[in-house]
Chains A and B, each alone.
Chain A
Amino acid sequence: MARYIVRRILLGLIVLLGVITITFTITRVIPSNPAAKWVGPRATPEQIKAAEEELGLNDPLPVQFFNYIKDLSKGDFGRSLRTHQPVKDELIAFVPPTLELVLLAFVLAVLIGIPLGIYSAKKKDKALDHISRLFSIGSVSLPTFWVALIFQLIFYRVLGIFPLGGRVSTETTIFYDLPNITGLLIFDSLITGNWAVLKDALWHIVLPCITIALYPIGLVARMTRSALLEVLNEDYITAAKSYGLPEKIVLWKYALKNTLGATATVLALSLGYTLVNTFLVETIFSWPGLGSYVATSVVTLDYPSIMGVTIFSTANYIVLNLIADIIIATDPRIRL
């Protein structure tokens, strides 16, 4: 097992290096003027020359690449061309809000999706199954931006029970000092015992969180249902049932375990995907996360930021994949 994990980590590092090389090359080959971007929208030739010097853009590309890797190994992602800020600081500012939102959404997805899938499988072709399948298909196929707008309309405009967007109310930002330890506001306010902020943060996260959770809930429910149906037809389940074991134990202990591998893989990969693809939901709910950072970086060809986000999301995929594989590997039938 340990050897397997080490091998996978090494492989992951090679993948990461490959992605860095490709992204670096592509972002530099695309016609753009990084020095002009650094200076501002109306850079004069004189300003551009000074900026090229400052940014080391006069060096040949391989030298620039080598310098980039060297800085990267020290944890320096370079500076954004647009904001002039270290990319590392920007990631530290923008990743936690998204992480908080997405993690909570995935907890929700597991808590709702798996039971939903189980009941659906158990009551196959009954009314509950149809309702739950309809819900799963709906939640996977409804465009999230549409759901987000409808939620705002109903819960803010009509009912007025949830806020329109943001992480906390404007009053809270003025009257309280927001705790910042991990950047995950809910967690931070919980451990510092800042109940007013916690209450406000929870109140704000409900709508965006549910919006994001809808897709994985549907995904998990459908995966669980189909995997479970397959398992339920296996001989050992029939055997267990014929021994007179309670249905609860057969279902939860023997059947469910065998479906977790597939669900874990799907969940882990879609978590990796969601982390950098919450742009629309974040925009609609004014959530200060990674989504809009990614979008602006790409649109403005801010390549230090693009590189930073790419490295972050690649590392995510690698780690999440590894976790999924380890979960699957806990199945004694799988040999490593």
Chain B
Amino acid sequence: MKKGFAGILALALAIMMLLSACGQGGQQDSSTGKQNGAKRIAYYAYGSEPYIDLDPSVEYSNGLIVLHNVYETLTRYDNKTEEVKPLLAESWEVDPEGKVWLFKIKENVKFHDGTDLNAEAVQKSIQRTIDMKMGAAFVWDSVEEINVKDDYTVEFKLSYPAPLDLIASGSYAAFIMSPNAVEQNSDWFNAGNAAGTGPYKIQKITKGEEVIFTKFDEYWGGWKDNQYTDIIIKKVAEGSARRQLLEKGDAQVATSFSVTDLKALRDNKSVVVSDHETWRNVIGFFNSEKAPLDNKDFRIALAYAFPYDETINEIKEGLAVQSYGLIPKGLIGYDESLFRYSLDMDKAQEHLDKSGVDTNGLKLEMTFTSGNEVYRNFAQLYKINLQKLGIELDIREMNWDNVWEKSKNPKPEDRQDMLVMNWWPDYASPLSWLQSLVLSEEEILFNLSYVNDPALDAKVAEIEQFIAVDKEKTHDLIVEVQKKIIEDAYFLHIYDDMSSWVTDVHFKGFEPNPAYEGVVFFYDTYFE
């Protein structure tokens, strides 16, 4: 009997050895990143599902990391020069009012299905996105009609001025697809079909898991020997697993690491860690329609009591910068001369006294989406500071649906007192913050400080008008808007987030662009 038991163990061990042996055999003759026959493979270990919906008109989530390698947009934003650069559009012009746009389309560009890019394809693609009314289709709200002027010229007529060159560079909803693909419904795309003009074709997908690309031989940009021919974007949810894949040289690029993992990776010579600014900022919203937060001095007192430095240096371990108002670095309207509140309990007390608010038994409710460690930590620190002012902070972590539902309650007194969330732009433009967070709303959507100031509304309208035609004037106007909201302390401008990328030493040419968060434009990368 004892023999039998030992036998089972021995058998199990033998099977394990055998499996590991054959596994290793498989491992030796193929290693990603290096040349493998005619293929050179790059592996992007991504922390979540690589896409949610593969329909380029619909996707408004992680999928930009896939779609931007398969499809192209008319223009692309260059965060270094803060300019829009041509991509599928060779050039464009706009009338002085900013309401009629003409795009000249690049010639001799082929879609993956062999058809040629022309003005009609552009018109149909964008019209499809607008008509489907899904995802980020609203960025085209200003578009009244799209006309094909000639084979390679498209005209956009707008109902109000909008920066169409920026909108066309969008991270979502701006993809150009082949006329054959335009006819298809979402299910066709989600079955793994695609027909863009991008450098890579989709070769294989596994739902919720991975996407594999292979190079599109007829890409208009041409190919060099040391570029990657095959790309894998795969979900590796565990940070420790992503780290191990990089350390072993199995993965070439990954992001979203814990501070501990980053520390270890920074000491590793086979990988490169780099920190980059993003356009994602974390904002606290004061309910300016509810007493006592309708009192400006009270809000200023609250703004002085927030632990900005501790949040950035201790909680974020330096991987963030305190915001200058709403607009992050790299966009029009970013200005380092804007006033930043800092933690100053004396000034907080001073403004509290000035406000005349009685803090006896005062309890304020702060809501945010549950599960965010950083928010939880700074909320705790904030709570301690507010206690010194005699205010109790009630921290409520909820599902986003509940946070949002509460914030949209028709009665201001039934809403939260403060709400924390992050914001990022739909396309490379400061308008996203101004239109969504500052412009007064009839039906509450994202203006969750409930700012309702006709003077500010007028300014935003003016910005909309000038953004496409006069950069300097736009900048000044945005700075004015921000001065006013900072002075009135509608928001806690907590921090602009940063992201750390880890790449293999041999994986070169990668530059993260905050306009396309999380995207690796694999065509720009190469093996060295």
Contacts and interface: CB of A to CB of B under 8 A. Distances in A.
Interface of A: 30-33, 37-42, 44-47, 50-51, 82-85, 90, 93-94, 111-112, 115-116, 119, 122, 128, 149, 152, 155-157, 160-166, 169-175, 196, 199-200, 202-203, 206, 283-284, 286, 288, 292-293, 296, 299, 301
Contacts of B5: 115-116, 119, 128
Contact of A31 (B53, B250, B402): B402
10 residue pairs, one from A and one from B, having the closest CB atoms: A203-B23, A40-B60, A161-B20, A288-B209, A171-B30, A32-B401, A40-B135, A31-B405, A93-B207, A44-B138
Given A83-B52, A111-B8, A203 B26 contact: yes
Given A41-B60, A42-B436, A82-B52, A115 B8 contact: yes
Given A171-B32, A174-B212, A301-B401, A161 B58 contact: no
B100 interface: no
Contacts of A85: 53, 187, 190, 207
Contacts, number: 172
Interface in B492-528: none
Interface size class of B (residues with CB under 8 A): 35 or more
A288 B208 contact: yes
B16 to A, nearest CB: 6
A152 B244 contact: yes
Given A122-B1, A286-B234, A50 B133 contact: yes
A216 B449 CA distance: 53
Contact of B133 (A39, A156, A173, A286): A39
B210 interface: yes
B338 interface: no
B212 A203 contact: no
Interface in B118-165: 133-138, 141
A112 B9 CA distance: 9
B232 interface: yes
Given A94-B208, A152-B244, A164-B244, A33 B30 contact: no
Given A94-B207, A155-B20, 17 more contacts: A40-B61, A40-B134, A46-B138, A47-B133, A83-B190, A84-B190, A90-B207, A128-B5, A152-B240, A156-B248, A157-B247, A164-B241, A170-B234, A173-B206, A173-B232, A174-B230, A284-B241
- Interface SS of chain A: helix, strand, loop or mixed? helix
B8 A161 contact: no
Contacts of B30: 169, 171, 175
B221 interface: no
A203 B133 contact: no
Nearest to A286: B236
B4 A33 contact: no
Contact of A42 (B12, B207, B443, B446): B446
Contacts of B36: 171
A33 B232 contact: no
A39 B22 CA distance: 47
B13 to A, nearest CB: 12
A83 B138 contact: no
Interface string B38-55: 010101000001001101
Given A165-B236, A174-B39, A200-B26, A47 B138 contact: yes
A163 B23 contact: yes
Nearest to B16: A206
B82 interface: no
A111 B11 CA distance: 12
A261 B132 CA distance: 57
Nearest to B406: A31
B268 to A, nearest CB: 13
Q: Among the interface residues B22, B55, B203, which one has the most CB atoms of the partner chain A within 10 A?
A: B22
A296 B36 CA distance: 36
Contacts of B245: 164
B47 to A, nearest CB: 11
B53 A84 contact: yes
B334 to A, nearest CB: 22
B10 interface: no
A172 B22 CA distance: 13
B401 A293 contact: no
Contacts of A116: 5
A90 B187 CA distance: 13
Nearest to A298: B399
27 contacts: A31-B402, A31-B405, A32-B405, A33-B401, A33-B404, A37-B401, A39-B134, A39-B135, A40-B136, A46-B133, A47-B137, A51-B134, A83-B52, A83-B190, A83-B208, A93-B207, A155-B20, A157-B247, A164-B241, A200-B23, A283-B237, A284-B237, A284-B241, A286-B234, A288-B207, A296-B49, A301-B401
